[in-house]
Every structure is written in structure tokens, then in C-alpha cells.
Amino acid sequence: QQQVKQSPQSLIVQKGGISIINCAYENTAFDYFPWYQQFPGKGPALLIAIRPDVSEKKEGRFTISFNKSAKQFSLHIMDSQPGDSATYFCAASSHNFNKFYFGSGTKLNVKP
């Protein structure tokens, strides 16, 4: 049973558009929600993360929106650029940070 469900599996966005990737979870013990970015041939790298005491976190063009009651969180990429083309993974962990559960990934293609 997948602990974190991610959609869509793939996404095509025009340059300058907004990319939105969604994740949902069931385990209410989760309290740390990172997003990872993976370029071809590389390992995933931590992009941005949020804790459930806030509803939004913004770093540059990347924003996480968090809805605790719905148990959903999403990544928004504003003004998407071709250099943002990558695979994005959401993840979740409980307070002990011992183990993370990953979504299935979203392959983003930003067209020039």
C-alpha cells in the first residue's frame, strides 16, 4: 500500500506557465513533507520542504501548499523554465525522521 500518492505521472508545461504537482497521504503521524528534484543521470536532491504547522512555504519560484485537513500537499513552480524539466518526488516522514515514504514521481517537461 502506497503511503504517499502522487499525480500526475507526467506533465507538459509551456515556458512561463505554472506547473502543479499534487500529493496525498493517509498517515496522520507524518509531519515533514519534502520535495525532491531529479535530473537525468543524477540522484534526487532536496528542493523544498514543509512542516504541517504552516500552510505554505515559498522559495523563489517554488511553493509548497499544504492542506492538513485534506491530507494533501502540492508543489507549484511559477514561471516554469526549460531548466526545471526533471522528475519530481514528494515524500513524507514522521517526527523521528528515520524513514521517508516517496510518491511515484512526476516527470515534468517544460517546453520552450
Partner 1 sequence: DVKVTQSSRYLVKRTGEKVFLECVQDMDHENMFWYRQDPGLGLRLIYFSYDVKMKEKGDIPEGYSVSREKKERFSLILESASTNQTSMYLCASSFPARRVGYTFGSGTRLTVV
Report the b/e string of 72-99 with b at 16+ CB within 10 A.
ebbbbbeebeeebbbbbbbbbbeeeeee
In the block, cell 485537513 appears at 69
What DSSP state is assigned to residue 33?
Answer: E
Compare residues 1 and 69 and give the one whose CB is closer to partner 1.
Answer: 1
Grid cell digits, residue 106: 512526476
Compare residues 20 and 100 and give the one whose CB is closer to partner 1.
Answer: 100
Q: With binding defined as CB under 8 A, does residue 53 bind partner 1?
A: no
Q: With binding defined as CB under 8 A, does residue 66 bind partner 1?
A: no
Pick from 24, 44, 50, 75: which binds partner 1 (CB under 8 A)?
44
Among the residue ranges 22-30, 45-53, 57-65, 74-82, the one whose residues contact partner 1 (CB under 8 A): 45-53
The minimum distance between CB 16 and partner 1, in angstroms, equals 28
Q: With binding defined as CB under 8 A, does residue 73 bind partner 1?
A: no
Q: Round to whole Å and give the CA distance between 22 and 73.
A: 6
